[in-house]
Amino acid sequence: MSIFGYEKDEVSGRNFGDFPIFSPEDQITALNNFKSLIKGEILQPLEFNVYKKDRSQIWVEFDVSVVKYNGEIIYQLIIQDISERKKAEQRLKESEEKYRLITENANVLISVLNEKFEYEYINEVYQNILGYKFDDIKGKVNLGLIHPEDQKQTAIALSRILRKGKGFHQLRLKTKNGNFKWLEATAKNFYDSKERKKILIISRDISDRKVIEDSLEKSEQKFRNIVDSVPLGMHIYQVNSEGNLIFIGANTTADKILNVDNRQFIGKTIEDAFPPLKDTDIPGRYLEAALNGKSSTWNQVAYEDEKIKGAYEVHAFQTSPGNMVASFADITDRLKTERNLRESEEKFKALFKGGPIPTLTWQKTDEDFQLIDYNKAYQKYAQDNIRKDSDLSASFIFRDRPDILKDLHRCFYEKINITRELKYNFEFMQGERIFSSKFAYIPPDLVIIHLDDITEKKHAEELILQENLKLMELNKMKEDLIIRVSHELKTPLTSIFGASQMLLNHHKKDLNKEVKNLVEISHRGGIRLKKLIENLIDTSKLKWEKLILNRKIEDLVAIVDDCVDEMMFLAQNRNIVINTDFNNQIFLKVDKLRLEQVITNILSNAIKNTPSQGKIYVSIIENKNSVGINIKDTGIGITLEEKKLLFEKFGKIERYGLDLGVDIEGAGLGLFISKEIVELHGGQITIKSEGRNKGTEVTIELLK
């Protein structure tokens, strides 16, 4: 047990499980594996991150085996410190990730073949140029994609690469759409982590160049037609017997790009034809291409007053021994754009430095983050301490803030952006500041933290919240007052209403005409006031969810019929006919009193809003899953503007002075209460009207 920091006398005679080397999760894993071993299963070596006596951690490998000794079963445990190996594996993983990023962003085709010439990897450029996804060609033999004319030479070249370790070859590969691309491939052997031989192939698409080279070889005329049509300028040179490069021709594109007739230079050496090139390395590059076949590419830029006057991308290559072509494209606009982009980046950096939001840039080091940049806005918070902070690691600066360290690591390792509210105390600021923070990962090794100070905003929001709570309390007091006043009014009103009703029902004969009219006026006012108070109480109950239904199985047809009978007297007084259409019994689980309240309210509205001689139709429609109570009138209808007030609390439609021949009394609570009651039943109310004087249709739909 010395590997864990224990002396021999500390472990002698003690149970292995007595030593706190495992985390709770690993202890369960180890115990389960030991149970499997007892059952006779053969265990593979296990790796654990364990605690030493001083509570530091190391990686170890446990190899448990069963040994028979003198007829007894002994469990042999071999423990090996593998910390260095695990560190090496982590470094290898990071290295592989780094090189994977390089391969994916390289502007060349990269592939890996095994010894059977089967594909094991292709990068994104490979996929983009040839059109294949990795799954399309994974495990396939390279020769199957090679042009038939190139297969034999390619097989020889690959075999030679396997023997000699490296090589160079040109071939045509079939793209996914059936065409062929010319590739210039450089290959080299390497061995993976399991000592298996692989072939790394780095290729460039030389299809355009091959078209030019092949055309030159076939015929001068054909060369002229093709070369003149390409968007590249071309100068053609030949080495004479004295070893000088002689200009022998150009295409029409070259004339257009350089704005000159290049025929005047035919027969001249490159130095005489283009004197500015004499003191450069360009003649040497051209000569190297013509004699040795060494291709090269570069940008040739001319400046005037520190501004780009002209720029060309030049590619020099051999067409045949002693002959070469220099193709060039005008990239002046592209380079100017790139320069403008760099200037824009500088401006952006200046904006970063002078931006109003405090911003810090952290760079990942071996096991920590280092502050490498910050803007002026951050200085407002750190002040003189900023210079000291810039030389410190994140683990020191945020030693008391593990949450910030955790976000830094998560942002970097998971490559995600993290946005959250963050509170922080700066040494030179008064009190705690609140920030809307954003941690942003910038490849390959940066994390930027933006700290938008929202302290005052949060304080204002808190103040608004407190004020809203006060307003809610006041609103509750208002609702309570309405309920209390309504109840207080209800008791004397009941007495007044009952007294007037008793006078009309039992002492009508004793009243003269004038007194009787006054009692009837008082009675009608009592009815309206009683209904208004009941509606106010119901509205308050609905608001505070205190209206509870007492649902029982009831005959819906009987309920509707009773409501119609109750309202018939009011309809007859207004000379309105109510037609009904329902026969069979329909039983639903409803609150009878509340449903009667809804139907009576809808019928009352229909009677009030239908002029004399009008008609009201009441029907019940039974469907598979619901029952609809339909109340349709021939009244004054509802306009588009009036529809906006439907179902609103106190949403009374004002019709004073419109001379519509209807009853304009009411507080605007009936439809609001009716809708809430129906919805408490799980149903809905719908109202249809085509406009003024076209009637109204109300449907109360209840689920079965």
Considering only 135-149, 309-323, 517-531, which range has the smallest mean pLDDT? 517-531
Q: Is it true that domain 2-87 has CATH number 3.30.870.10?
A: no
pLDDT score for 657:
47
How far is it, in rounded angstroms, from Cα 538 to Cα 672? 10
- Mean residue pLDDT of the chain comes to 81
CA 517 and chain centroid, separation: 74
Pick the residue with more confidence: 350 or 499?
499
Write the pLDDT tens digit of every residue in 446-472: 999 999 989 888 888 888 888 888 877
Which residues are CB-neighbours of 663 under 8 A, at least 6 positions away? 574, 607, 608, 609
Residues in the chain: 704
Which residues are CB-neighbours of 442 under 8 A, at least 6 positions away? 448
Residue 392 has pLDDT above 80, yes or no: no
Highest mean pLDDT among 86-95, 338-347, 678-687: 678-687
Spatial contact of 82 and 53, defined as CB atoms under 8 Å apart: no
> Residue 83: pLDDT band by 50, 70, 90 thresholds?
confident
pTM of the model: 0.32
In the chain, where the domains are located: 2-87, 106-205, 209-335, 361-419+443-450, 458-541, 548-703
Pick the residue with more confidence: 410 or 343?
410
Q: At what angle do helices 592-608 and 670-680 cross, to 10 degrees?
A: 150
How far is it, in rounded angstroms, from Cα 361 to Cα 518? 88
Superfamily of domain 106-205: PAS domain (3.30.450.20)
Pick the residue with more confidence: 663 or 145?
145
How far is it, in rounded angstroms, from Cα 692 to Cα 308? 76
Task: Write the CA distances from 552 to 558, 586, 666, integer angstroms.
Answer: 14, 13, 31
> Residue 119: pLDDT band by 50, 70, 90 thresholds?
confident
Structure tokens at 246: 């002689």
Residue 191 has pLDDT above 60, yes or no: yes
Which amino acid, 663?
D
Across the beta sheet with 418-424, the strand order is: 369-374, 359-364, 446-453, 433-442, 418-424
Sign of the torsion formed by the C-alpha atoms of 558, 562, 565 and 570: negative
Strands 577-581 and 615-622: parallel
Strands 359-364 and 323-330: unpaired
Across the beta sheet with 197-205, the strand order is: 119-122, 109-114, 197-205, 180-191, 166-174
Considering only 157-171, 366-380, 490-504, 631-645, which range has the smallest mean pLDDT? 490-504
How far is it, in rounded angstroms, from Cα 197 to Cα 74? 43
Considering only 326-330, 350-354, 387-391, which range has the smallest mean pLDDT? 387-391
Q: Which residues pair with 249 in a beta bridge?
A: 236
Phi and psi, residue 26, nearest 5°: -65, -35
Write the pLDDT tens digit of every residue in 10-63: 777 677 667 788 888 888 887 888 788 777 777 778 888 888 888 888 888 877
> Residue 375: pLDDT band by 50, 70, 90 thresholds?
confident
Q: At what angle do helices 513-543 and 670-680 cross, to 10 degrees?
A: 50
Which residues are CB-neighbours of 101 under 8 A, at least 6 positions away? 443, 444
Which amino acid, 437?
S
Q: Hey, how many other C-beta atoms are within 10 angstroms of the C-beta on 446?
A: 16
State the burial class of residue 635 (Cβ atoms within 10 Å of its Cβ: 0-12, 13-18, 19+): buried
Which residues are CB-neighbours of 204 under 8 A, at least 6 positions away? 108, 109, 183, 184
3-class DSSP state of 39: coil
How far is it, in rounded angstroms, from Cα 452 to Cα 462? 18
Residue 608 has pLDDT above 60, yes or no: yes
Which residues are CB-neighbours of 68 under 8 A, at least 6 positions away? 74
Residue 105 has pLDDT above 70, yes or no: no
Residue 117 has pLDDT above 80, yes or no: yes
Please state which CATH number belongs to domain 209-335: 3.30.450.20
> Which residues in 162-173 are b (16+ Cβ under 10 Å) and which e?
beeeebebbbbb
Spatial contact of 64 and 43, defined as CB atoms under 8 Å apart: yes
Residue 654 has pLDDT above 60, yes or no: no
Write the pLDDT tens digit of every residue in 239-269: 998 899 999 999 888 898 888 999 999 999 9
Spatial contact of 471 and 522, defined as CB atoms under 8 Å apart: no
pLDDT score for 322:
93
- Fold held by 458-541: Helix Hairpins (1.10.287)
Spatial contact of 185 and 206, defined as CB atoms under 8 Å apart: no
Q: Do domains 209-335 and 548-703 have the same CATH topology?
A: no
Average pLDDT over residues 76-104: 68
108 secondary structure, DSSP code: S
Which residues are CB-neighbours of 116 under 8 A, at least 6 positions away? 141
Structure tokens at 131: 């059109």
pLDDT score for 9:
76
DSSP 258-294: HTS-GGGGTTSBHHHH-GGGTTSSHHHHHHHHHHH--
Residue 74 has pLDDT above 90, yes or no: no
Considering only 144-148, 165-169, 650-654, which range has the smallest mean pLDDT? 650-654
Q: Hey, how many other C-beta atoms are within 10 angstroms of the C-beta on 227?
A: 24
3-class DSSP state of 121: strand
How far is it, in rounded angstroms, from Cα 137 to Cα 40? 44
Q: Which residues pair with 408 in a beta bridge?
A: none
pLDDT score for 138:
85
Superfamily of domain 548-703: Histidine kinase-like ATPase, C-terminal domain (3.30.565.10)
How far is it, in rounded angstroms, from Cα 336 to Cα 306? 12
